[in-house]
Amino acid sequence: MGESSYLLGTHAEELERLRFQHELWRPAAQAAWQRAGLSAGMRVLDVGAGPGFASMDLARTVGPTGRVLGLELSEAYVAAGQAMARNAQLPWLELRRHDLLRDRWPAEGFDLAWCRWVAMFLPDLDPLLSGLEQSLRIGGQLVLHEYVHWDSFGLHPGGGAIARFGQACQRSFREAGGDPDPNRRLPALLAARGWRIEAVQPLPVAGDSRSMAGQWLQRFVEVYGVRLQELGLWSSGDAAEAHAEMVAAAADPGSYWVGPTVLDVRASRAE
């Protein structure tokens, strides 16, 4: 897979979108890491790390006696993440170009693996699960933040074009070989391979147009709408309709956005 094969792209706007998205979801991520026992000195694997926004937070927590390795397909994201790590003086954070489906996973006995919004793009989950078994120590913890209910995405009341946008997104993920809601399957796949499922909990988000959740979803409609048009799944007329709905919603104090629902899954690697 090359630079252009990641469905959402790796252009500057997508990098900024990922930064903002991480700001919104940071408290949920940090709470999940805490439940998994993240602490100083730990070795952590960030699976499909993007430009490494979560990796940076993980690196600050594990400190210089720990290690964070981010595996990422995109050369551009790896370069951006390495530059951020250097600027922040976090030499124990490494971003590495790695294809989760094809490359050999590092057998370093990691204590914790973190994977957010990555499984949804993979046409085959087996290499992900085998790779995690290769890289985590026995008893090591896995925290997965992937979607479980994309259908909850919407703008209310009304939002007909936005609802169609959500359907077009799901179609685009499926047509590229992915699954919008991989956390419907992952706990069962992990359990079948002998992992212990420690906890599952949904993480819903909602808010008006000015809230961080609302801004995140509006930005996604604008940025990913361009890609959906390239894919022939969305038209300029659809985009104009969706834009008009967003403008109307911003002037309506009763309107609100709901995001696609993430499921937080924590599992531990058994013998």
Ligand X SMILES: C[S@@+](CC[C@H](N)C(=O)[O-])C[C@H]1O[C@@H](n2cnc3c(N)ncnc32)[C@H](O)[C@@H]1O
Taking CB positions, which residue lies at the least distance from ligand X?
50
Residue number with CB closer to ligand X (99 or 252) = 99
Q: How far is the CB of 14 from ligand X (least distance, A)?
A: 8
Residue number with CB closer to ligand X (16 or 252) = 16
Q: How far is the CB of 66 from ligand X (least distance, A)?
A: 19
Contact residues: ligand X, CB under 6 A: 1, 6, 8, 18, 22, 48-50, 53-54, 71-74, 77, 98-101, 116-118, 121
Residue number with CB closer to ligand X (125 or 163) = 125
Q: How far is the CB of 115 from ligand X (least distance, A)?
A: 7
Q: How far is the CB of 253 from ligand X (least distance, A)?
A: 31
Residue number with CB closer to ligand X (55 or 209) = 55
Residue 118: both structure tokens together: 């990555």
Residue number with CB closer to ligand X (117 or 256) = 117
Q: How far is the CB of 80 from ligand X (least distance, A)?
A: 10
DSSP code string of the chain: --GGGSTT--SHHHHHHHHHHHHHHHHHHHHHHHHTT--TT-EEEEET-TTSHHHHHHHHHH-TTSEEEEEES-HHHHHHHHHHHHHTT-TTEEEEE--TTTSPPP-S-EEEEEEES-GGG-S-SHHHHHHHHHHEEEEEEEEEEEEEEGGG-EEES--HHHHHHHHHHHHHHHHTT--S-GGGTHHHHHHHTT-EEEEEEEE--EE-TTSHHHHHHHHHHHHHHHHHHHTTSS-HHHHHHHHHHHHHHHT-TT-EEEPPEEEEEEEE---
Q: How far is the CB of 243 from ligand X (least distance, A)?
A: 23
Residue number with CB closer to ligand X (17 or 256) = 17
Query: Does the N-terminal peptide bond of residue 123 adopt cis geometry, omega within 30 degrees of 0?
Result: no
Reference 9, options 253, 127, 172; nearest CA is: 172
Residue number with CB closer to ligand X (161 or 205) = 205
Q: How far is the CB of 73 from ligand X (least distance, A)?
A: 3
Report whether 171 contacts 230 (CB < 8 A): no
Residue 253: both structure tokens together: 């104090």
